[in-house]
Amino acid sequence: MARDIAPSRTDEPIADVAYLARSDHRVPTLVAMTDRPRSRSELCELTGVSSSTIRRTLREFEARNWIRKDGYRYEATRLGEVIALGMEELIERVETERKLRDVWHWLPDAVTEFTIDTWSAMTVTVAEPDAPYRPVNRFESLLRTTTEFRFLRPEVALMEPCLGVLCRLIEGGTEITLIDRPSCHTYFFSTYPERSSEMVAQENFTVLEHDDLPPYGIGLLDDRVAISCYERDSGTVQAVIDTDAPAVRDWAAAVYASFEAEARPPTSEPLPE
């Protein structure tokens, strides 16, 4: 038997939140009037809605004491400013949550404990069915401009087009250290024998290996950190998350240093040409 669900009371706070959220123009309209007084025609132009719609919206705002009219212009009251700021913050938080939603299960535990401000500073690039190389291309754009490069689990850096950029950085004298699993070194050396021989012959390129690396990668590029998320079974690059947030940089540098201290030169070597 169906159970009746009581509708929200109109005198509850959630009713005002719902009113603002039901139409795209309402929050921007209120925010616009916190900046300076606005005429009705100006609000129509700013929001792209009709004069009759703005008229109804202003009437609702006035009934809630969120705005006041001064001549032909409207401005937010202090109550309206508080509501506008709160809605902006809520929308920003939801935008941040939506950005991280699809990659949350890949993130290191330490990253999930950072503040919302730290999360909002992250750029998240996720592979899509029609654009599987989006994360790789994003990382390539970061790699292209760096003058420092250290990477724990650098599989994304060894994929084209990143590999070509990596080789150019080595040729240009950039100090580079890569720490990966023995199986990955064996695969790379056997797949790219000539290129790998040229790379490891350079004094500014160091390869180390570690048997127990995390399921994600950490790249340190100048003042930016790149976290690469891999599909556990196939190793496919699912996402790249990059940020210049100091808290993430400090965490990434500490994690990298802990693995570097335990790493060793690779047991396998590039195949002879």
- Average pLDDT for consecutive 10-residue bins of the chain (273 residues)? 48 91 96 96 96 97 96 97 97 94 92 93 94 96 94 94 94 95 88 87 94 96 95 87 96 97 84 54
Token look-up 């802990």 returns 258
Q: Where are the domains of the chain?
A: 13-91, 102-262
3-state secondary structure of 246: helix
* Type of residue numbered 21: A
- H or E segment to which residue 94 belongs: helix 78-101
Q: Give the pLDDT confidence score for residue 10 in this predicted structure.
A: 61
What's residue 186's pLDDT? 86
Predicted confidence at residue 190, as pLDDT, reads 87
Q: At what angle do helices 13-21 and 26-35 cross, to 10 degrees?
A: 100
Q: 13-91 sits in which CATH class?
A: mainly alpha
Whether the Cβ atoms of residue 180 and residue 214 lie closer than 8 Å to each other: no
Q: Are 271 and 195 in contact (CB under 8 A)?
A: no
Q: What was the pLDDT predicted at 216?
A: 95
In angstroms, how far is the first alpha carbon of the chain from the final one? 76
Architecture, CATH, for domain 102-262: 2-Layer Sandwich (3.30)
Q: Would you state the pLDDT for residue 125? A: 96
